[in-house]
Amino acid sequence: MTYVLALVVLVLALPWGVAWLVRRLAALLPPREACWALTGAAVLMAGGTIAVLAGLFHVPLLASLERLPLGRVLEEWPAAVPAACVAGVALAFQLVLLVRRWRKHRSLLKRAWQSAGGGVHDGDVLVLPGDEVDAFALPRYRRRPARVVMTSGMVAALKPGEHAALLAHERAHLAGRHHVLAAVADLSAMVHPAVRSLTKLLEFHLERWADEAAAIAVGDRKVVAGAIARAALAGAAQRRRPDAGYPVLSATTGPVPQRVEALLLPRPAAPQRGARRAEAWGLTLTVALSTVAAVAVAYGLHEYVEYAASAVRGG
């Protein structure tokens, strides 16, 4: 059973390597595909971790279902009961973290809607009075439809044309349901710490996705770059909202200089895009094979118990 334990340890450590591969993969992909790759990898990493822990936790239970005496299990694998206890504690701890994180998400969204309660409706836009410089996408909450929120201070800070660019950016967040992707990755990070390195990167690529969508909507990448830079500079002097980030996505979040630079740079040539695509496919295959290994180990634990039970009954 030593090799099984070694495989379990390997799979639990594997997400650290997978996270490195996914970060490299995201750098090769367009923003939208990078977001899906990061979110999908976060789910697979979390799912693989849960599968292995659940497999360890169920070893004594599976043995009892197979009518295999616990003493016989301990002869084959002395660490079975301690490993099951550790796995059970880890699963319970993860459940607590997930519930607390989900409740925090709902609380932040409720507070954001309350702060926008005094806004003036202008179609799908809520304009808040005041000198504060801010703009963000507010997802649907209960029966309230999704809205783009913009303060009067932000409207005054932007030049003609930049207002439409910023609205297009925030509308892209809502249309792409970016808050859902951010939430899934954030909750997955409660399962395995390696996923946490992907959440900030996902935030950057979600903003890049919205930047590119806004550039298509207004037809001018320079106008979008100017709107983002001006909005970020105008809001730099004020205190950052305590609820910034998920579920409230703002055009001024993330590394703004890199986003502006990406909008101003020309697209890579076709041969460069082909080479990047080939490397991306190779990394995607590696990530998929790595994460599937976790599920295979969990299944292997079940098969091992069945094999041990049949050996005992045969002996």
Question: Looking at residues 190-207, what average pLDDT do you find?
Answer: 90
Count of CB atoms situated within 10 Å of the CB of 90: 18
Q: Using one digit for the tens of pLDDT, what is the confidence trace for 251-307? A: 777 788 899 999 998 765 444 455 556 555 666 666 666 666 666 666 666 566 555
Question: Looking at residues 3-8, what average pLDDT do you find?
Answer: 61
Q: φ, ψ for residue 141 (rounded to 5)? A: -140, 115
Mean pLDDT, the chain, as a whole number? 78
Helix (H, G, I), strand (E, B) or coil at 189: coil
Tell me the C-alpha distance between 303 and 296, whole Å.
10
Residue 108, pLDDT score: 87
Tell me the C-alpha distance between 217 and 220, whole Å.
8
Alpha-carbon radius of gyration of the chain: 24
Q: What is the pTM of this model?
A: 0.82
Position 223 pLDDT exceeds 90: yes
Decide if 203 contacts 244 (C-beta within 8 A). no
**Which residue, 152, 96, 121, 116, is CA-closest to 247?**
116
Instruction: Report DSSP letters for 246-264, one per residue.
Output: TTBEETT-S-HHHHHHHHH
Q: Using one digit for the tens of pLDDT, what is the confidence trace for 120-171? A: 877 888 888 888 888 888 888 888 888 898 888 888 888 888 999 999 999 9
Question: Apex CA 288: angle with CA 282 and CA 290, to 5°?
Answer: 105
Count of CB atoms situated within 10 Å of the CB of 23: 17
Decide if 91 contacts 50 (C-beta within 8 A). yes
Position 242 pLDDT exceeds 50: no
**Which residue, 154, 149, 151, 110, is CA-closest to 126?**
149
Which residues neighbour 26 within 8 Å (Cβ) at sequence distance 6 or greater? 34, 37, 38, 201, 205
Decide if 222 contacts 250 (C-beta within 8 A). no
Q: Using one digit for the tens of pLDDT, what is the confidence trace for 82-103? A: 777 888 899 999 999 999 999 9
Residue 185, pLDDT score: 92
Q: φ, ψ for residue 150 (rounded to 5)? A: -140, 135
Q: Using one digit for the tens of pLDDT, what is the confidence trace for 14-73? A: 778 778 888 888 888 889 988 988 898 888 888 888 888 887 777 666 665 555 565 665
What percent of the chain is modeled with pLDDT above 70?
Answer: 70
Residue 295, pLDDT score: 64
Tell me the C-alpha distance between 136 and 206, whole Å.
13
Q: How would you classify the pairing of strands 135-138 and 249-250?
A: antiparallel
Residue 226, pLDDT score: 92
Torsion-angle region of residue 65: left (phi > 0), alpha (psi -120 to 50) or beta? Answer: alpha
Residue 25, pLDDT score: 80
Residue 118, pLDDT score: 74
Least confident of 70-84, 163-177, 189-203: 70-84
Tell me the C-alpha distance between 78 and 89, whole Å.
19
